[in-house]
Every structure is written in structure tokens, then in C-alpha cells.
Structure 1
């Protein structure tokens, strides 16, 4: 049976993200050498929304990404830029060819073949690897449910079909809420245009219901469920279990990765770091040098029982900091 063909989009710019892009590209090449699509690395270009900052990646990293079979595509920041870099993932969608796509946050490592994941690109979905981060419950209202309903009403998206009926009202998991670490659809142009329009409206002129809500860094995750629902999508089913599972790992920060992610993900990270092409570049990145080459990652992993981790991420972070191994 022929494999599903789709493109992958990730973002890279000067600094941390360019090194993460190298890890992503190298792991894709190792874990899924027959991947039939293109890995696009979208790069924001200098402009008025970046001020004096040049967000472009370094020449050495650019050359390495190309050797790793990634295609670098430029895009112009029209709405967010330096004020909200998370908006890159929204604005970059317009630079893709209009073919099915999977967006991956750059801090993702591939651990197996995408042939093990079955996508319905006409029914978009996104990552459920999230915590109760948004919206924040207000002492005097509105409630969590009222906040979400106001947004669905604002953009004329049906609200009731998105609810998890088994959950109680105002419990955060009753409402459609994703981590924007991965999402997909069949038409990046249409998906990206709607995502950008709605995110820009909330960024520039937030409605009263959001007056006390933090939108940085949560804007992309507040708008994503609305966009997915508007295209007929929803929560991921078992056919997507390989994402945030056996096929991908959204590792976020290297100390957290070593503390809590799977042995499979750790083994792939170490394998990537020892690639002859990759090692000279990653050694220039401080967190990678400390965690991967100086052995701090193994020390952090030994601090935790991966089968009995603290329930809250903050507790893991605090333990790593107390031991002096936090870096990012």
C-alpha cells in the first residue's frame, strides 16, 4: 500500500531554534529515511517587526539543514514578529505549497516512521500533550466555559459539538484545548489564513471576556481549537497515537526531556548527537553541549523515576534547578 504523502513544517531562526531544527531534521532522516514528503524549515526574514534583530539562521546551520534534506523557505512577518515569536508558526503556513501538511514545533524528535500514523487530513487535529494553562479561572468570572463559549460565538463556530460530555462544566478538559506542538490539515493556505486572521483580531483588539487573560504565550493555543473546529476537526483518535508516542516526542527543553521522556526518545537524541555531520554544530549550543556531550543529561535522568514522576511539570523543573542542571 502506498504511503500517505504530506509535508512537514517547522520554524527556525537565529539561536536555539536553529539547533533544534538540526535535531528534528537529523532524527527524521534516521527514523524515517523513506519519508515521501518534504521537511520545510520556515525562516522569518528581517523586517520592521523584527527591529534591528536579524532572525535568519547561520550559514553553517543552513548548510547542514540542506545536507539533512530539509528545504529552507523564507516568510515575511506581517503581524507578529519579535513581539510574539510563537506567531511564526501561524504566519509561515502561507509559505507552504498547498498540499497536506503536518506542523511540528522545532523541539520535536522523530523516533519511528510516519507510516505508523494514519492521518485524515480533511479532519484536522492537534496535540493533547498539554496542561491546564489557559484560560485562567477568574475569581469574579467569567467562568472557563463562558470564556470559551464567547470565543466560539465571536468567530461563529458551533460550540456544543466541541465539548466532552463526560466532563463536568467548567472543568478544563471539557473544552477543546490543544498544545500547538503539532497540528495538521489538507490545505495550509486556507488553514493558515483563518488562523492568522483570528489570532490577529484577538492580538490587536481582544474582546472584554479576555480582558484579564494572558495572551502571551497562549494566543496560538487559544485560537487553534477554534480553527480546527471550524474545519470540522477535533480531538485526535487512536490512529494518531504515534504522535506524542512511538513516532514523535515533543521534548521542549533538554533537561525536561532527560527527566521524563521515553527511553526511545533519549536513545534517538543520543544517536542524533553522535552523527558526524551534526556533532560539530550541536557542540556549539550550550544546552546540547552540557546535556549531551558533558553527560549532564544522564545525571538528570537518574534523579527521577520515569514511572513515578511528579504530577506537575513545575516540580520537575524545581528539582533540576536545585541540583544545578537547569539550562535552555
Structure 2
């Protein structure tokens, strides 16, 4: 491996902050990072899209949220949307990369992430990008009479002049979705944020705008980032994460996605890390304005959700978990 975090510890951690939910989630991310990794020496950047023609309303965070983030050592990075915006807010994670500092490798995390262990001890190889494997077979959805998984994915690799066969997991059977390189875009990393971001944007825009015959029956949204991401990672010589990255989506980070889901299905360590990190009054006074945090964390209703689920025997489908929480009147987002 080449340079890793243990060599300098100086990489950029970036997430997206916007008015509403994402701003409050950014506080949780920052607070748990500082608690779990007090020796973190990298830059924590909360990237904020700016008002413009691609937004129907002002996406910027409010002053109390920005103050709380600054108190936690986060830098607010304004950036402009030129491709996506309101029509596809998931595209923020693509567009922000070209606005990042060039002098350090990056790791992007979805904002609905918290930390339970020291990120600075994860042995990243920034020359070999990877992304989260905590995913389901959400895309593609092959039609009954074809094309199948293999033909759909191969058409994309061919479109961008990339080799297809080296990406296959041959331990999985043909036409099983896990045979093909597919990630959750909840975290990903590389050495060069601007080169990665430009290619990510180019690939995503091409998939969105061009007529690729094998994709004719496919729904591209909201999966566009996850369709393009494997192609980008493979193009930079990366692939599936190795065992050294097992702490991500494990003992170091938790992509909880929504606070009700965190209380329903995540580990005791994740819940404890959340509640301890946001207990200080300077954080509480801001987060209590966010209804899910107010009711689930500070008023204790998260414990009710937790008692309603056996984490050793969770429903197989997330939809069933959500329904049970809704029936309790506690699906808050």
C-alpha cells in the first residue's frame, strides 16, 4: 500500500449540510467524530450548496446550526450546483468533490452517519478507492425477457471503455446481483477529490442524458449515484473494500439513515455513542429544534422503538421496520 492515514492522518472528511434535516445530522456526525476520535487531525468539512437556479429555495443552513458545527471544529464549505440541485439532491455528493481542497485525499460520508470508533486508525489506501458494501440489490431491475444483470452492467462498462470481467465476484452465481460491482454511496474515498469528482459527474451525466439501449427499461433515480460509483471506482483502480476497512459500517462508523431506524436496528454501541455525544447543553440547545432528535433522543421515545424490536430477529425488509415505527407514531424524519 501507499500512503495511509497512519502516515499523516491528514485527509479531508466531507459531508453535506443543508437547511433542515441534513444540518442537524451534520451536528451529530461532527459530535460523534470528536467524541470517538479525539486525535483526529484531518479536516472536517460540511459542504453547503448555495442558492441558485437549480434550487427552488435557499438550501443554506441556519446560523445556530453553523455555530454548533464551528464549535465542533467543522469548516463550512460553500459550493455551487451546476448539474443537479433540487432535481437530484443526491448529486450533491458528486458536485462537492470538485470544490474540495486539492492538497489532501478525501473520504465522503453521508451526513446520516455517526462514529463509534477512531476513524484516524482506519488504514485507508487512498490510491485504491472503495465504497460501502452495506447495500441491497436496488439496481438494476432486469425485465423478465432481458437484458439481465450482466448485460446491463456490461453495457455501462463498455460505454466508458472499462474492463468488465475483473469487477465480477465469481463466488456469486451469474445473474445474481452481488456478482456485479455495486456499492452503497454512504461512504467512498480517493486520493484526488477533483479528478474523482469530475469523472463521477461526467459518468453520472452521461448515464442520465444518453440513450443506452440496455438501460431503456431501467429507472435511474434515485440510484444514479450508485450506478455511476462502481464505474468511477473501477476506473481509478479500486474495487470492493478489503478487511482493513471493516470498521466502516462496523466498529468505527454507522450509517443509520434515519434516527428511528437507528433505534430500531443499530448496535447498543451506536446508540450509546449518539446519546453521549449530543448530551452537552451547547449541542442539545440546537438539536432540540429538530423534532426527531427532540422526541427520540431527549424525550426518550427512541427507547420505546428499541424495545419494540429484537435486533437478533429483525424483519428482513426495511419497509416492515418502518411500518411498525409508523404504527407507533414515531416515524420522524
Task: Name the TM-score, length of structure 2 as normaliser.
Answer: 0.96
User: Cα distance, 1:114 vs. partner?
Assistant: 1.5
Partner SS, residue 282 of structure 2: coil
For 2:325 and 2:195, how far apart are their aligned partners in 1? 42
For 2:322 and 2:137, how far apart are their aligned partners in 1? 17
Matched, 1:73 2:65: no
- What corresponds to 1:314 in structure 2? 319
Partner SS, residue 50 of structure 1: coil
- The structure 2 residue matched to 1:178, chosen from 167, 180, 183, is 183
User: Which has the larger displacement, 138-147 or 64-73?
Assistant: 138-147
Structure 1 segments of 4 or more deviating over 4 A?
Answer: none
For 2:28 and 2:97, how far apart are their aligned partners in 1? 21
Matched, 1:297 2:275: no
- Write out aligned runs for 1:101-120 (5 A): 101-120=106-125
Aligned residues: 327
Any conservation in 1 of the 2:29–2:114 contact (CA below 8 Å)? yes
- What corresponds to 2:3 in structure 1? none
User: Which has the larger displacement, 199-208 or 240-249?
Assistant: 199-208
User: Cα distance, 1:3 vs. partner?
Assistant: 5.0
Any conservation in 1 of the 2:116–2:273 contact (CA below 8 Å)? yes
- What corresponds to 1:82 in structure 2? 86
Any conservation in 1 of the 2:262–2:271 contact (CA below 8 Å)? yes
For 1:18 and 1:140, how far apart are their aligned partners in 2? 45
Unaligned segments of structure 1, at least 5 residues: none
- What corresponds to 2:328 in structure 1? 323
Unaligned segments of structure 2, at least 5 residues: 1-5
Matched, 1:6 2:11: yes
For 1:172 and 1:158, how far apart are their aligned partners in 2? 18
Q: 1:206 to 1:103 in 2, by over 3 A?
A: farther
- Write out aligned runs for 1:114-129 (5 A): 114-129=119-134
- What corresponds to 2:66 in structure 1? 62
User: Cα distance, 1:2 vs. partner?
Assistant: 4.6
Task: Supply the RMSD in Å over aligned alpha carbons.
Answer: 1.1
Q: Deviations over 1:259-303 (max 9, x none)?
A: 110111000111122122210111000111111122111000101
For 2:12 and 2:36, how far apart are their aligned partners in 1? 16
- What corresponds to 2:290 in structure 1? 285
- The structure 2 residue matched to 1:223, chosen from 211, 217, 228, is 228
For 1:185 and 1:238, how far apart are their aligned partners in 2? 17
For 1:2 and 1:192, how far apart are their aligned partners in 2? 24
Partner SS, residue 305 of structure 1: coil
Any conservation in 1 of the 2:10–2:43 contact (CA below 8 Å)? no
Q: Deviations over 1:217-243 (max 9, x none)?
A: 100001000000000000011100110
Q: 1:11 to 1:324 in 2, by over 3 A?
A: same
